[in-house]
Amino acid sequence: MDRSVKQKLVVVGNGMAGMRTVEELLALAPGMYDITVFGAEPRVNYNRIMLSPVLAGEKAFEDIVLHTRAWYAEQGIALHAGDPVVAIDRQRRRVRAASGREVAYDRLLLATGSQPFIVPVPGSQLPGVVGFRDLDDVETMLRAARAGGHAVVIGGGLLGLEAANGLLRRGMQVTVVHLTGSLLNQQLDGDASLLLKAALECRGLRIQLSSQTAAILGEERVEGVRFADGGECAADLVVMAAGVRPNVALAKEAGLHVERAIVVDDTLQTYDPRIYAVGECVQHRKNTFGLVAPIWDQARVCAAHLAGLGHRRYVQQATATKLKVTGIDLYSAGDIVGGAGSEDLVLRDRRSGVYKRLVLADNRVTGAVLYGDVSDGPWYFELIQRRADISAFRDRLLFGPALCEAA
């Protein structure tokens, strides 16, 4: 290949994974590619995580923009925002966008993310039913909040609780409906979940656990929700926060190997060596992803391979999560369920509202659930990642690094 001629890289998806990969690539191999980015959303790349504070009124959209139009221009990147790619021709190595624009590629990067899973019950397509994924969703919710009334959020996971908190702060009455018997059941154990429920109810949220949505009611638009037990509740807005589905239709139609998401190897390459994929649209060693930490790792690895360096390999790591609701501190990292042979260390201080549980296996911390006092969270997370032997300070482990390091 003539190295003096720039290769063409086309990125499908102007979101967090795609643009992080481009940033890493520009750092490793500036000028190696002519880069074209297609985005379905009609705007520049922004920090999707911060949509929750935007909904809650703690930040404005301008505060969460990651790359301005000027940045794309300075980097020589052609940005086609609001023009989704609708077809990939792998033989001719070209993509076609909704506008009809066609662009050729030497390397293609798919970073199409996910979309909210809309629970397929009668009425789920009515106006007033919304997911929580992009700025348009936030604007729909804000319009509803200006009119006041009652919102029902389906899903008591991180996203659902952040949506509920935002709508509450915008003046709506909010009910969270959750399928299982405890909130954040993927991140918290039963005790921490009860503390969280009490704190959220104190703020005015209504929480309905073990509740299955049977139908969304309404003629022209949403008027209520019916549950499997026959109960009903009025609603002017329904937010579906019951999981996501990777955007894989484009890859599937192009004949790439897709299971739950686009299957990639340890270099983030798909089954077509010209095509890479990163972010929530990928499946790596059977897993899919919904947090940015693993996606940043994927971006580093993928960029190294696009840069022709080939010196990195993606390895999945434990992840940590927080709830972005101001005033509620919780932290969850690693495997909080435990298995045969694992043990728990628990500290419970009801009066000060502090709960800590560490899961141990073979003298190592494998998981941590913290509520109320999360200051040691990153330290426990580091112990998990380093697989550190904690036998020398096991008796002090719950009291944090200062006492342990003294030991």
Ligand X SMILES: Cc1cc2nc3c(=O)[nH]c(=O)nc-3n(C[C@H](O)[C@H](O)[C@H](O)COP(=O)(O)OP(=O)(O)OC[C@H]3O[C@@H](n4cnc5c(N)ncnc54)[C@H](O)[C@@H]3O)c2cc1C
Q: 87 vs 346, which CB is nearer to ligand X?
A: 87
Return the range that interacts with ligand X (CB under 6 A); candidates 7-15, 26-34, 305-313, 368-376. 7-15
Q: 114 vs 193, which CB is nearer to ligand X?
A: 114
390's CB contacts (< 8 A; 6+ apart) are 360, 363, 364, 365, 383, 397, 404
- Which of 10, 33, 36, 52 binds ligand X (CB under 6 A)? It is 52
Phi/psi of residue 190, nearest 5 degrees: -55, -45
Q: Are 35 and 60 in contact (CB under 8 A)?
A: no
What residues numbered 53-112 form the site for ligand X, per CB under 6 A? 84-85, 111-112
Q: 253 vs 265, which CB is nearer to ligand X?
A: 253
What residues numbered 116-135 form the site for ligand X, per CB under 6 A? 132-133
Q: 158 vs 200, which CB is nearer to ligand X?
A: 158
Return the range that interacts with ligand X (CB under 6 A); candidates 48-56, 168-176, 375-383, 399-407. 48-56
Q: Residue 251 CB, nearest distance to ligand X (Å)? A: 10
Element (H, E) at 141: helix 135-146
Q: Helices 292-306 and 16-28: crossing angle, nearest 10°?
A: 40
Return the range that interacts with ligand X (CB under 6 A); candidates 13-21, 118-126, 265-273, 344-352. 13-21
Q: Residue 40 CB, nearest distance to ligand X (Å)? A: 4
C-alpha closest to that of 116 among 264, 238, 228:
238
x/- track of binding to ligand X for residues 318-357 (CB under 6 A) = ------x---------------------------------
Cα angle, residue 133 at apex, residues 39 and 187 outer, rounded to 5°: 130
Q: Residue 274 CB, nearest distance to ligand X (Å)? A: 17
x/- track of binding to ligand X for residues 260-279 (CB under 6 A) = -------------------x
Hey, what amino acid is at 48? R
Return the range that interacts with ligand X (CB under 6 A); candidates 9-17, 218-226, 344-352, 365-373. 9-17
- Which of 34, 105, 108, 113 binds ligand X (CB under 6 A)? It is 113
- Which of 9, 10, 15, 235 binds ligand X (CB under 6 A)? It is 15
Tokens of 21: 């990969």
Q: 250 vs 404, which CB is nearer to ligand X?
A: 250
User: Which residue do the tokens 């709830």 mark?
Assistant: 323
| Nearest position to ligand X, beta carbon | 15
Q: 114 vs 123, which CB is nearer to ligand X?
A: 114
Q: Report the C-alpha gap between 223 and 217 in whole angstroms.
A: 6
Q: Residue 91 CB, nearest distance to ligand X (Å)? A: 19
Q: 211 vs 298, which CB is nearer to ligand X?
A: 298
Q: Report the C-alpha gap between 41 and 394 in whole angstroms.
A: 50
Q: Report the C-alpha gap between 232 and 216 in whole angstroms.
A: 10
404's CB contacts (< 8 A; 6+ apart) are 390, 393, 396, 397
Q: Distances in Å between the alpha carbon of 169 and those of 56, 61, 228? A: 6, 17, 29
What residues numbered 17-46 form the site for ligand X, per CB under 6 A? 17-18, 38-41
Return the range that interacts with ligand X (CB under 6 A); candidates 8-16, 267-275, 346-354, 391-399. 8-16
Q: Are 353 and 341 in contact (CB under 8 A)?
A: no
What residues numbered 150-189 form the site for ligand X, per CB under 6 A? 159
- Which of 36, 193, 247, 298 binds ligand X (CB under 6 A)? It is 247
Q: Residue 114 CB, nearest distance to ligand X (Å)? A: 6
Q: Is 72 exposed, middle or buried (0-12, 13-18, 19+ CB in 10 A)?
A: buried
329's CB contacts (< 8 A; 6+ apart) are 370, 371, 372, 373, 374
C-alpha closest to that of 252 among 91, 94, 88:
88
Q: Distances in Å between the alpha carbon of 96 and those of 92, 122, 225, 342? A: 11, 35, 40, 52
Query: Is 250 a binder of ligand X (CB under 6 A)?
Result: yes
Q: Residue 148 CB, nearest distance to ligand X (Å)? A: 22
Number of residues interacting with ligand X: please give it, by CB under 6 A.
Answer: 34
List contacts with ligand X (CB under 6 A): 12-18, 38-41, 48-49, 51-52, 84-85, 111-113, 132-133, 159, 247, 250, 279-281, 290-293, 295, 324
